[in-house]
Amino acid sequence: MPTPQRVSTIPVAPGALPVLGHLPAFLRDPLAFLRTLPAHGSLVTVRLGSVPVVLVCDPELVRTMLVHDRVFDKGGPLFDRLREAGGQGLATCPAHEHRRQRRLVQPAFRAGRFPDYARIMSERMDTIISGWRAGQTLDVTTAVRGIAADIVVSAIFGSRLDPADHHRLVTDFDTLLAGFSMHTLLPRALRGIRTPGNVRYLEATDRVRRTMTRLTAEYRRRGTPDGETNLLSLLMAARDPDSDAPALSDDELVDQAVTMYSAGTETTAGAISWALYLADAHPEVRARLTEEARTVLAGRAADWDDVPRLPYTRQVLLEAIRMYPPGWFLTRRTETDTHLGRHAVHQGTTIAYSPYLIGRLPGLYERPDHFDPDRWRTQDGRKPRVPATVFGGGARKCVGDEFSLLEGTLLLSTVVARWDMELDRDTVTVPKIPQLTLSPGRLRATLRTPARRPVAG
Ligand code: HEM
């Protein structure tokens, strides 16, 4: 990064209170607060209690920051807390450790593995959705999260999870996510106090790790069935090129399992739930989405071969994650004194980017608050781009981006093809305080069997 000719100081956002800084405004409505910040500059300092955080509001500078991942390394309060839960897996490890881990994990996400993943996804969602009944009231976010968890676990362990373990992981993750934002923002002294909320959070964090440790040990004992590959089998088989010893210790395997489960469940589930929510609010979008799915699938669960014929479904998903990106606020810590644009940034600075903010920039998207899946339409049948920064960027870009878009396309199309969902909009609790991920809170729907279409001819 070249040193700029003129160095400017980073402005502090107005309205900071003594001691609390911008924390009350951030907690009151973080999404609205974030959107006030670009007016003050491309980099703006906000004070979340005692912690100053520099928010990068310019998409080009976000890109520069993400590309220079050794200077702007994973760190800041968000990743400090994530490491407590997930150890030093791919998403949380420092840059000097990252290349090795990414090389080991990447084969599980190569394009050649996707038809297999699609088969697992299709089979799992078919089984679960076939259990739904007409007239039933469904808690949509919970149901979708259950399917996403099931699919990620199959990708990690290759086998289905015992229902009791599944239930425990889902419940503990709920507790962990519910307490995460508060726990991240609390000063260290307050985090240690044994309030019921703190105790619940710490116990759930501990149980998630213990459950994953046990499941990983059980997997090692059982061994991988012939002809099967999954994330754990690939990681266990990986060898250090110098010593031929296993590349990852047992503890590191658990770190990766926790990382994949946590990075892959709530994010994808959020994307699908937002897509259902937004389509429901836009009848013309819902009609096109449903028409595409019913024409292509004719009652089947979607599978790999259907994907090229579901372009509108993918557009709806992309537009949903532009407007409500599951990873909405992410932090880094600068490893050296450096520059970003015209600004000097000192070593040890906590610096953040918000895919939510970037997705709503009027300079980047026309009418950014308007839900318009057609912005992602391509003329030539090629896959559309992905909204800027929704999956991060540079070497730390999401390893599961295509996995989640595949899962989202299959699940969204299968659900709308099979069911008319009557969303009870009074039950929607779009959260004011987003958790670690941005999810549409509670979302209830009554399921109706679609009216049969007249048979042509
Ligand atoms: C819509 C769904 C998803 C969204 C929006 C999303 C978003 C993101 C973002 C923004 C990052 C970068 C974080 C940063 O810059 O600090 C990231 C990284 C990551 N994601 Fe995702 N993600 C999704 C689905 C998944 C899935 C399904 C998996 C795994 C099965 C996954 C695994 C990971 C991992 C391991 C990383 C860290 C990559 C690295 O540092 O090399 N994600 N994701």
SS3 call for 21: strand
Which residues fall within 8 angstroms of residue 336, CB to CB, at 6 or more apart? 71, 347
| 255 CA → ligand 1 middle, Å | 15
User: Which residues of the chain have a pLDDT value below 70?
Assistant: 1-3, 5, 160, 429-434, 452-457
Q: Is the CB of 121 under 6 A from ligand 1?
A: no
Name the helix (H) or strand (E) containing 73: strand 72-74
- Minimal-distance CA residue to ligand 1 atom 41: 396
Output the pLDDT for position 431. 62
Strand partners, 352: 55, 331
Do residues 387 and 325 touch, judged by C-beta distance below 8 A?
Answer: yes
Residue nearest atom 37 of ligand 1, based on CA coordinates: 91
Q: Is the CB of 321 under 6 A from ligand 1?
A: yes
pLDDT reported for residue 246: 87
Index of the ligand 1 atom closest to the CA of residue 74: 16
Q: How many residues does the chain have?
A: 457
pLDDT of residue 382: 81
Q: Whose CA is nearest to atom 21 of ligand 1?
A: 398
Q: From the CA of 84, how far away is ligand 1's center (Å)?
A: 18
Question: Among 267, 329, 439, which residue has the most ligand 1 atoms within 8 Å of its CB, making it the best to mutate?
Answer: 267
To which CATH superfamily is domain 23-448 assigned?
Answer: Cytochrome P450 (1.10.630.10)
265 CA closest ligand 1 atom index? 27
- Is the separation of the CB atoms in 209 and 254 below 8 Å? yes
Nearest to 344 by CA among 33, 45, 104, 21: 45
Task: Check pocket membership of 76 for ligand 1, CB cut-off 6 A.
Answer: no
Determine the pLDDT at residue 430.
66
Element (H, E) at 406: helix 401-418
Coil, strand or helix at 354? coil
Whole-number Å distance, alpha carbon 92 to ligand 1 midpoint, is 11
Q: How far, in Å, CA of 153 to CA of 148, rounded? A: 9
**Atom of ligand 1 minimally distant from the CA of 89:** 35
Q: Could you tell me if the CB of 404 is within 6 A of ligand 1?
A: yes
Question: What is the CA(8)–ligand 1 centre distance, in A?
Answer: 33
Q: Which tokens sit at 67?
A: 């590309």
Q: From ligand 1's centre to the CA of 136, what distance in Å?
A: 33
**45 Cβ inside 6 Å of ligand 1:** no
Kindly give the distance from the C-alpha atom of residue 393 to the centroid of ligand 1, in angstroms, as a whole number.
10
Distance 343 CA to ligand 1 centre (A): 28
Å from CA of 454 to ligand 1 middle: 43
Best CA proximity match to 85, nearest among 439, 440, 436, 438 = 436
How far apart are the CA of 131 and the centre of ligand 1, in A? 30
Between the CA of 5 and the centroid of ligand 1 the distance, in Å, is: 36
Pocket test residue of 398, 403, 405, 437 for ligand 1, highest count of atoms within 8 A of CB: 398
Token representation of residue 6? 């003129």
Distance CA 379, CA 389 (A): 23
Q: Is 392 in the pocket of ligand 1 (CB under 6 A)?
A: yes
Residue 192: what residue type? G
Buried b / exposed e across 106-139, counting CB within 10 Å, b at 16+?
Answer: eebbeeebbeebbebbbebbbebbeeeeeeeebe
Query: Ligand 1 centroid to 264 CA: how many Å?
Result: 7
pLDDT of amino acid 5 = 67
Residue 52 and residue 76 in contact, taking contact as beta carbons nearer than 8 Å: no
Phi, psi of 163 (to 5 degrees): -55, -35
The two three-digit tokens of residue 358, written as one number: 């970037």
The response to whether residue 393 sits with its C-beta less than 6 Å from ligand 1 reads no
Q: Is the shortest distance between the CB of 86 and ligand 1 below 6 Å?
A: no
